[in-house]
Amino acid sequence: MKQIASVLDLRLENRSGHFVPDALAIGRALNFAGAKNRTVTDTKCRMSPDTKHWLRILPPPAEHNSKTYGWCFQLIISSREIRRLTLFISQQLYILSRDSDHVVVHLDWISTPQLIAIALGITLFKIANFFRYSDAGSIQCMLWLHAHAPGDITPTAHAVIKFLEAFRVTTRISVYTKPLSAIYSARFPGRVFEIPNPLNETINRKIIEQNLGSLRRPCESQKVVCLLAGQVFPDKHYEILEAHVRDNNVPHAGVKIVLQAPQELGLKSNGDLEISNMPTGHLQEEEYVDRYLGSDVVLMPYSTAKYAYTVSGVFVDAVSLGCMPIVPLKTVMARELETFGLSQLAINWDNFSWDLVASMARNIVIKNRLNQMSLAYRERHCLPSVAAALARIIHYGESAANGVCA
């Protein structure tokens, strides 16, 4: 019996801390939705027990350059590599089509050169099947792109999508936030889906198996543990906190602040401000999740320009685990907090102080509202919810206009 869909999931290693957990979570959600999934990544993608089944055949990505976004990942640098990837895509679609009458190519980080090769591969597959089978029309193709930022789909990429439409290849676009959904819906009406950021397997398991449904109480001790989560990137603006540590801006409310910070920042303890240096580099999921569970607050002085349209995986994980996020104004995270009556957690970081952090961590009203948000996030971002959203994307009978899933 044929499945609803088979998905060829192309994943580029972009050096994000959430790259592997998110890719694995999407794969599990696709399987949960009844689809067959095959993940392909680049030759330098790190190996882990959970990713041994991934095919590592794509050329590795080059450094990201926002000024040339779309062409900056020089994944395909010669016509020979274009031909190789084109044939690979066509062959993989043929293999997947043996078990399914729907074949989908999912591209998470959009590279225009790679997209061209994918389009050629899909076209070659359709032409070959037209001559190979009398019922070739029953095998449907789809291109599913995931956009992380407003400029991800360039004019050239748009032209590639138009080319595929001429060959009756369905195209759908998924996004994580409402602002991105509004932008892309204006350009691609009826084909844009808002889907939940997936929680990693460890968070899903701890919520279900270890009774994380028992919500956290406000911090009642004279110690508040703060966390700088994830890898250190320029867009996180951790230098703001470096200044508050270095310039003797210590708490004065009789509360001890413990700041868990990546050791590469080189922060030093200062009076009632204790620095707990954390090893840098890739973390196992258990260790990553335990850092949130052992913290009261996660500090996120992130770039307003970047996160006006994009939500951070750190934010979703923190809220789901009941760790209080403090974020910048005018970001997606700020608007999410406002929805749950937590606008005071979105601040102007020029006015940041450790006493402000301590007062929020010990505020019963704030903590109770965060607990309600945490429950809502666990339901929205859990495996069944993500699987339901993806099923609506890859199901050909469902209108995308009716499929926007929040």
pLDDT, tens digit, for every residue of 111-163? 777 888 899 999 989 887 765 554 445 678 899 999 999 999 999 999 999 99
Least confident of 68-72, 184-188, 317-321, 326-330: 68-72
Residues of the chain with CATH 3.40.50.2000: 203-381
- Extract long-range pairs of 361-367: CB within 8 Å, 24+ residues apart: 361/218, 361/219, 361/224, 361/296, 361/297, 361/324, 362/218, 362/219, 362/220, 362/224, 362/255, 363/218, 364/218, 366/218, 366/324, 366/342, 367/216, 367/217, 367/218, 367/324
Report yes or no: 260 and 225 within 8 Å, Cβ to Cβ: yes
Least confident of 95-104, 140-149, 214-223, 385-394: 214-223
Q: What is the pLDDT of residue 267?
A: 85
Q: What is the pLDDT of residue 2?
A: 53
User: What is the Cα–Cα distance from 348 to 329, expressed in whole angstroms?
Assistant: 6
Q: What is the pLDDT of residue 6?
A: 92
Average pLDDT over residues 27-52: 89
Average pLDDT over residues 235-255: 76
Is it the case that residue 208 has pLDDT exceeding 60? yes
Q: What is the pLDDT of residue 212?
A: 52
Q: What is the pLDDT of residue 129?
A: 73
* Average pLDDT of the residues of the chain: 83
Select the highest-mean-pLDDT range: 29-38, 52-61, 128-137, 200-209. Answer: 29-38
CB neighbours of 108 closer than 8 A, spacing ≥ 6? 9, 10, 11, 12, 23, 26, 146
Is it the case that residue 74 has pLDDT exceeding 50? no
- 256-262 and 273-278 strand pairing: parallel
Among all chains, which residue has been given the structure tokens 């607990």?
371
Task: Estimate the crossing angle of helix 201-209 against helix 19-32, to 10 degrees.
Answer: 60
User: What is the Cα–Cα distance from 177 to 406, expressed in whole angstroms?
Assistant: 8
Is it the case that residue 232 has pLDDT exceeding 70? yes
Q: Is 237 exposed, middle or buried (0-12, 13-18, 19+ CB in 10 A)?
A: middle
Q: What is the pLDDT of residue 299?
A: 96
Least confident of 46-60, 204-218, 352-366: 204-218
Query: Of 310 and 77, which is predicted with more confidence?
Result: 310
CATH code for residues 6-198+382-402:
3.40.50
Query: Of 403 and 223, which is predicted with more confidence?
Result: 223
For domain 203-381, give its CATH number from 3.40.50.12280, 3.40.50.2000, 3.40.50.300, 3.30.70.360.
3.40.50.2000
Query: Of 137 and 251, which is predicted with more confidence?
Result: 251
- Percentage of the chain beyond pLDDT 90 is 47
**Measured distance between the N- and C-terminal CA atoms of the chain, rounded to whole angstroms:** 31
User: What is the Cα–Cα distance from 177 to 148, expressed in whole angstroms?
Assistant: 9
**Predicted confidence band at 75 (pLDDT cuts at 50, 70, 90)?**
very low
